[in-house]
Chains A and B, each alone.
Chain A
């Protein structure tokens, strides 16, 4: 997993609330047995017309957002299906950070496993960042995980909370299976105790 330390990048505004994982990556692209290559299909139905041409009204199709790495989105981003194809598609598209007032639980966890930082801010802060993202390629937003801060192109700084274990893994690009396997003795002990106390499991 790629480390996430500090990101200085173009941000795109997606003010819509409840952007679900079906919108981020529709079901026809879940048939892959790989993690890569989904970026071209991200936001497929909003991004492409029925004939396959680009929908010019969709924010990520606009010239001002070419090379975008940050999304600033409406409440409850990533709701619905657990598909990790959603963060895979975002990552493959180039998104390393999503900022919203809330995220669906499974999507939120999935982001951390893939080197994407989900940032939770207040409604007022979101409006400020949404406005800044509206400047497109004329502006750069700075997301600093170490200091848990987002800085607008005008120099306004917002701080955010993040779980310290998730932060540690993301900053260092750690594989958490490896970390868990270091505690294998505890798991072994738990399992033998369960085999005795709850043999039906």
Chain B
């Protein structure tokens, strides 16, 4: 039998139909739904008299629009946001979906609660009308974002019309240095591949540095596979994965667990399998990084200087100049001289318990810079509860951070958490696009520990100096 990659194995196991022209129907095991990209899909079902084929495999939660302030149960002030969240509520109840409403402690960012509730398991196909669905690939599942038309297609048929992507391997060898995290890995990789480097590929991350990551760290790495242009990112499941899954509310138990585990242990890329593209980086070579521009590929070690447009080639020259203008930066400035006024710690990239622990380790006994607006938005109600139990919330509040309820918040600023024009934010989210966190807002992406360090000094800061 020809050797297969992890991606090949999951693909083959989900082929519901293959037409003569090679068009494939891929069966979908889990469909995650949020309020922004689903209303038109449910409307489409109603207009055509169709229904949801597998409501028990369809998990809905509001996350993008929900306020994260403590008084949010009094209702959403913005009318359009409220209508959208209400529409999800109606659709979830009418079609009988698995549903975590805003007043449920399990509510949170869709990509955080899927794994937390045990909906996300190895070997599954998982889709959501959200590009950061790649997160779930950390479990050795095939997970990717889809558009709203495809959301409707999955709702109606539990399948997706697909063409197979190519295989790409990203290997991170060796060990990470002090202060270097999963976020630094994933940003450093995009810094090398560029935001289109993964286009047409599914990435499998492997190597000692990936193996040594916790599930939280692996989710951070896979989450940003889309920022490198890849359809999905994935990591072969191992004991770390199985330990995380065991005992989750929707994970199998007893004999079914044993059967599942036996299957999951077959999910790895065979030894001599061919990858269409391979990238190898040494863990030791990765430093804590930040972004300077308006594309996630604009990555530099914190010890570097702001580049000039002439440092680039081709279309990137113009793009870099536009980024520098937008970001208000002068070439040659040390990155550590860039002052910030806002810190956002949270998002599906870095809103899990390990991220909050990393931030708390830096913030313990410290105060944020005077005048700094700093907020921590846990990824789910359960992450928030755990952080409170571990005493992290007190550390954040004592340091001067706002301690919020769960949601996407300032990652994309659909709720009231937004930047004003010219404001500059150290963010643990995933996109530094123009206007992403608010029109005219300037975003520097980094790890939770780096964002915490920046909150204290008021500047982009090398967290290693605080460790």
Contacts and interface: CB of A to CB of B under 8 A. Distances in A.
Interface of A: 15-18, 20, 22-23, 26-28, 30-35, 45, 50, 74-76, 79-84, 87, 102-106, 109-110, 113-114, 163-165, 176-177, 180-181, 183-184, 186-187, 190-191, 194, 198-201
Interface string B313-329: 00110110010000000
A190 B18 CA distance: 12
Given A183-B25, A198-B123, 6 more contacts: A23-B433, A23-B434, A82-B145, A177-B156, A201-B57, A201-B124
A106 to B, nearest CB: 5
B161 interface: yes
A180 B23 CA distance: 11
B216 interface: no
Nearest to B430: A80
Given A80-B131, A82-B129, A180-B157, A32 B80 contact: yes
B431 A76 contact: no
B366 to A, nearest CB: 32
Interface string B118-155: 00010110000111000000000000111111101100
A71 to B, nearest CB: 15
A50 B422 CA distance: 13
Contacts of A30: 36, 64, 414
16 contacts: A15-B315, A17-B318, A26-B435, A27-B412, A27-B436, A31-B80, A82-B130, A83-B37, A110-B148, A177-B152, A180-B153, A180-B156, A184-B157, A198-B123, A198-B263, A200-B260
Given A22-B431, A22-B433, A186-B25, A163 B163 contact: yes
A105 B202 CA distance: 11
Given A33-B87, A82-B130, A26 B439 contact: yes
Contacts of A27: 412-414, 436
B157 A45 contact: no
Contacts of A18: 195-196, 295, 319
B462 interface: no
B150 A102 contact: no
Nearest to B39: A33
Contacts of A191: 16, 27, 158
Nearest to A183: B17
Given A177-B48, A187-B25, A113 B150 contact: yes
Contacts of A181: 156-157
B40 A200 contact: no
B195 to A, nearest CB: 6
B29 interface: yes
B380 interface: no
A105 B227 CA distance: 11
Given A80-B131, A109-B150, A16 B318 contact: yes
A33 B16 contact: no
B96 interface: no
Contacts of A80: 131, 227, 431, 433
Interface in B338-392: none
B48 A190 contact: no
A187 B153 contact: no
Contacts of A15: 315, 318
A53 to B, nearest CB: 15
B199 interface: yes
B16 A187 contact: yes
A198 B260 contact: yes
Nearest to A165: B23
Contacts of B179: none
A33 B129 contact: no
B80 A165 contact: no
Contact of B434 (A22, A50, A176): A22
Nearest to B128: A82
Interface in B65-107: 65, 78, 80-81, 83-84, 87
Contacts of B315: 15-17, 74-75
A103 B196 CA distance: 8
User: Which 8 pairs across A and B sit closest by C-beta, in order of nearness?
Assistant: A113-B149, A31-B80, A200-B252, A110-B147, A33-B39, A84-B147, A82-B145, A17-B315
